[in-house]
Chains A and B, each alone.
Chain A
């Protein structure tokens, strides 16, 4: 019934629309080449029906000789063999010939065409010059054309075309050709439009009938494919593809409808069991076998789908859209599997896998065949799906056929394999030569275990697999996909176990054992793996395996007791860790140790309240929490608030670019090998032995012993050979164990200690790390100036939780006082009070320098003026021998002298008076008694008489008549007692002082009588009375001038009462030779202003110290004075000074300690200094003397001055 029954048409793209040629065959043959060449040269616009966009197409045609058989019979829908145009060729130019034969032939041709209902015809009249020349007498050529037009084309004059001189290369011929070709193309297109339109209409009608019972998809398929073929023939691949896509959609819809319960009868043929699964065939443009199956309604679903796809693939490749092929292929494969399921087609198990596998590879091969390598590599994303799918299917096939099981395939598996191989059929001839055809691959893969492994390599080698798995694990961890992490870890564990990477395996096992995504059994299994390894008796080479603790347990909380985490040696610091065990079973730890590192610096941050909650490391990578702190900016001048704000301390963590670094790495969460855990060496460890960690939170205690500041660094749990290590404890946690030395402090009980009265002092002993044992005692070295009173028993108090009073026994021997202490525990404080009495040193205003009897250390009790109260103070050193030390402790106590004594020398004429002031400078009231002033060495020339006793505190005493000796020593004594304590013992107060004369000033014997207003001379003679002692000579300011040692003095004549006017220099410097009775005389002029007995002008003498005077070791004022004293004392006095100072010797300590002046030496300016002499040092002979001044001779007024 088909037109091509007798002559099989090979459907290739060489198909062209058929144009039949009738008439003069020889003529046509001569023109054929030119025609076939020129026809496709220019495109033609093809206007389409149904609003489809017009297209420019290049027309080609297959010119065949006209036969009646070529014309389609009624009902034949074949389009490919349809002759679209019929051309009648003639070159007749002779009317006779035309009438005789050509016309008849044409008529016959016309009637045949008409009979078949074809109106697509064309008559071509070829005119050649050669023929015209021969028959010039004949009718003009148009007449033939006219005749033909008259005869055949009643209304279609365009159906007849003349072609002039087609074989000549003339412009006329070219014009004629082009108009002919245009005509031909137009007519062809008209025919296409008409015939295809008709065909489409028929096809649509046919499709509308699809609900009728007898309708067959296969028939319809063949019809629409015909259309697709035509479009393909016309190079309209897009349109061709549309036809197939419509078929595809229609079929899909039917299958879906079937699934919805609306089954069409014709679908029954597609529901037959699948017997062949040999995959897609894409190498051939048209798979005729499958096409015939469809035609015979014998195709299975896979056949239909395969065929349809192969056509789509072909067209897509023509359209240069290979990537759409891959995409569609994947969809198709998925879809087919679904459709078979939906249609409930029975398929041998594994058959579909074979089909999919083969199809995938076929598609990939096809794509590879039409693309170059670069293109392929750029488009991996399109092919990867197919590869994956193929891999999956191969894997499932392997599983199905027992090729991946360890035992190898059993008989059942082998049977199945044979069945599957049978369904593959034989290999197609067109791929047969290639060794890598999908068919061969699959066959080989299924044939043996080894071959399968060769083809399915992904998880073949654990070595490479582990790497891949680690990679993917890393990305899963980075993105926090817990289930994948677990799954991949399990695979990694497998690999590691196979590779014998024990440590890594254990680490992975630990992670898995703590993985909540696994079942209890699995977790226990992995935990058991660790414990089994741990309990293995370690052979020689086996080392301990150090694993990260993060998988094993988490440190949840850390607490110190006491909370300050600062404590002294001996007391117990409890370190309490809350460890959350992640293991599914209780784990017995042989040892849990915390490494601590001795830290030099002071603990920077203290944990508040001594406990620390550690954030549990969740798997989801939460961003770090904000660490905010407040800042205030205050202006430096007035402390006013300038600005305030909140500062985030960990900005660098929070404000990272999160696009580029997507993950926040978690410690220990990566692979086991990545987080290398190492024990840090050289650290002390806190240990707890035999701990059993139950699943969940466990509390472990440590005690910390050793002195120092420590930072917690690591935590290490040991289970047999396995150590779980927490490499860092963060934030930094420190504790401090300190050791305190025992300490003794002695301090006054009252604000100021008063000398001369019994005073209480407080002894406090902080025992520190020392234990006071029974019988141990403090040894206080006795000093004469400060005896320790132990009149009543004193008790000691131990400050501790228990408290308690203990009596102290105090024994005094000559040299030491020993206080036996009660036994006291370390880090306790022992308190007791003791009464001491500090004797008031005599003449505190003139303290003595002293050499100790041992002569070595110069040391003296210091007295100085207390600034705030004006009280002189005495520093009393106490040397204490403590039982805990071989060294003595030197403790200084400052006593204040409640009195201030001072004397002054007054002159009245020839008499001298000594005034002694005694002033109470303390806050206590005293009563005085028994005051007396005595001369210590009675001098016969002196008449001493007490004069007056002022009851306040001041005293007036007597003096002598004649010239005094160079030195006089007095002692003032009184008794005193606090006035508010009735019946208190009177204490003596002695004030020793001496009057010395260092220099004498006497006026020279000038004129005996002076007159007012007249100048008179004054001679001042200064005499050195004593020679400075050798020892003090260094201190004395001496200068060598011409071999003579001198000291400088400054004198000044001052007249306060305006009696005298000094003419010229009133002051000056004199150099006194350093020798006794050296005298220096100074002359000056004065003018008396009044008449009468005038007192001599007073003359001051001061020590002059030039600016270069010993600035470096400038002694304080006290020592200056004292040095002077000493330097001016004569031998005899020196002895007395010694005895006088003996009193204070008791206060001098024999122990080596440098005497440091309590007041810093005044800063010495580079200026000469003047220093006064002590009272009495300078004896002014002129003091109290008067000179008679006569009034001026011509004075009329008599002035009377009473002085």
Chain B
């Protein structure tokens, strides 16, 4: 279902980015990078409206002809970006939300690992398999 899953640090450098191997990786990197602007915009807009921000899911960030980019921001301003194929019309908002929730849980596990240095690229195998699960499911 997802064609690209990315975890972006608070400082906007990638902690984890993985895309389906069949397609141009660079394009996804560009897509994810571009979507960060929208994330920022949305976060700052929300920040103004609500001091206590509860909703982490940002919704559709940035549709392109071929892909839909969804965003999610943790309370520590780590961003999750999921890119799905536009042609995949069976995906609803709820499913995207649940994907993000799963991703967040797995990310929390990674952060809880005492051997993980926050800010380093994520190399956890468990996290990888969760992401793989998201990417495989639809394909």
A interface residue numbers (CB < 8 A to B): 256, 259, 330-331, 333-334, 337-338, 341-342, 381, 385, 389, 476, 479-481, 483-484, 486-487, 620-623, 658-659, 662-663
Contact = CB atoms under 8 A, between A and B. Distances in A.
B50 interface: no
A338 B85 CA distance: 10
B23 interface: no
A786 B77 CA distance: 90
A479 B26 contact: no
B46 to A, nearest CB: 15
A481 B14 contact: yes
Contacts of A662: 11-12
A388 to B, nearest CB: 9
A381 B33 contact: no
A786 B123 CA distance: 83
A394 B63 CA distance: 19
Given A337-B65, A620-B121, A483 B12 contact: no
A160 to B, nearest CB: 56
Given A341-B87, A483-B26, A620-B121, A334 B65 contact: yes
B133 interface: no
B47 to A, nearest CB: 13
Contacts of B64: 334
A479 B119 CA distance: 12
Most interface-central of A381, A480, A622, A663 (chain B CB within 10 A)? A480
B11 A259 contact: no
Contacts of A259: 89
B30 A484 contact: yes
B29 interface: yes
B116 interface: no
21 contacts: A333-B65, A334-B64, A334-B65, A338-B86, A341-B87, A342-B89, A479-B12, A479-B33, A481-B14, A483-B26, A484-B33, A486-B26, A487-B26, A487-B30, A620-B13, A620-B120, A620-B121, A621-B13, A658-B11, A659-B10, A663-B11
Contacts of A333: 65
Given A483-B26, A484-B26, A484-B30, A334 B86 contact: yes
A338 B87 contact: yes
B93 to A, nearest CB: 14
Contacts of A620: 13, 120-121
B128 interface: no
B109 interface: no
A389 B62 CA distance: 12
Contacts of B120: 620, 622
Given A338-B87, A342-B87, A481 B13 contact: yes
Contacts of B95: none
Interface of B: 10-14, 25-26, 29-30, 33, 41, 62-65, 86-87, 89, 119-121
Nearest to B87: A338
Contact of B41 (A338, A381, A389): A381
A486 B62 CA distance: 24
A330 B63 contact: yes
A659 B30 CA distance: 22
Nearest to A327: B63
Main secondary structure of the interface of A (DSSP, over half): helix
Contacts of B33: 476, 479, 481, 484
A483 B11 contact: no
Contacts of A486: 26
A494 to B, nearest CB: 16
A256 to B, nearest CB: 5
A334 B14 contact: no
Nearest to A619: B13
Contacts of B12: 479, 662
B63 A483 contact: no
A480 B119 contact: no
Contacts of A334: 63-65, 86
Given A481-B13, A483-B25, A620-B121, 6 more contacts: A256-B89, A333-B65, A480-B13, A483-B26, A620-B13, A659-B10
Going nearest first, the 10 A-B pairs with the smallest beta carbon separation are A480-B13, A483-B29, A479-B13, A662-B11, A479-B12, A483-B26, A256-B89, A334-B65, A337-B65, A338-B86
A389 B63 CA distance: 11
Contacts of B121: 620
Contacts of B11: 479, 658, 662-663
A341 B66 CA distance: 11
B29 A484 contact: yes
Contacts of A342: 87, 89
Contacts of A663: 11
Contacts of A487: 26, 30
A862 B120 CA distance: 77
B65 to A, nearest CB: 5
B119 A623 contact: yes
A621 B13 CA distance: 9
Given A341-B87, A381-B41, A480 B63 contact: no
A623 B89 CA distance: 42
A620 B25 CA distance: 18
Nearest to B26: A483
A338 to B, nearest CB: 5
B98 to A, nearest CB: 21
A341 B86 CA distance: 11
Contacts of B89: 256, 259, 338, 342
A541 to B, nearest CB: 39
B10 A658 contact: yes
Most interface-central of A381, A484, A621 (chain B CB within 10 A)? A484
A483 B26 CA distance: 6
A331 B26 CA distance: 24
Nearest to A389: B65
B119 A622 contact: yes
A389 B66 CA distance: 12
A259 B87 CA distance: 10
A1092 B64 CA distance: 143
Contacts of B87: 338, 341-342
B26 to A, nearest CB: 5
Contacts of A331: 63
A1027 B37 CA distance: 112
A354 to B, nearest CB: 14
Most interface-central of A385, A481, A487, A621 (chain B CB within 10 A)? A481
Nearest to A331: B63
A333 B86 CA distance: 12
A620 B87 CA distance: 34
Contacts of A481: 13-14, 29, 33
Nearest to B28: A483
Most interface-central of B11, B65, B119 (chain A CB within 10 A)? B65
A659 B86 CA distance: 34
Contacts of B119: 622-623
Contacts of A658: 10-11
A330 B41 CA distance: 18
A479 B63 CA distance: 23
Nearest to B8: A479
B55 to A, nearest CB: 20
A340 to B, nearest CB: 11
Contacts of A338: 65, 86-87, 89
A333 to B, nearest CB: 8
A384 to B, nearest CB: 9
A333 B29 CA distance: 23
A352 to B, nearest CB: 9
Given A334-B64, A338-B86, A480 B14 contact: yes
A536 B80 CA distance: 50
Contacts of B41: 381
Contacts of A381: 41
A476 B14 CA distance: 11
Nearest to B13: A480
A950 to B, nearest CB: 91
B138 to A, nearest CB: 14
A330 B11 CA distance: 29
B23 to A, nearest CB: 13
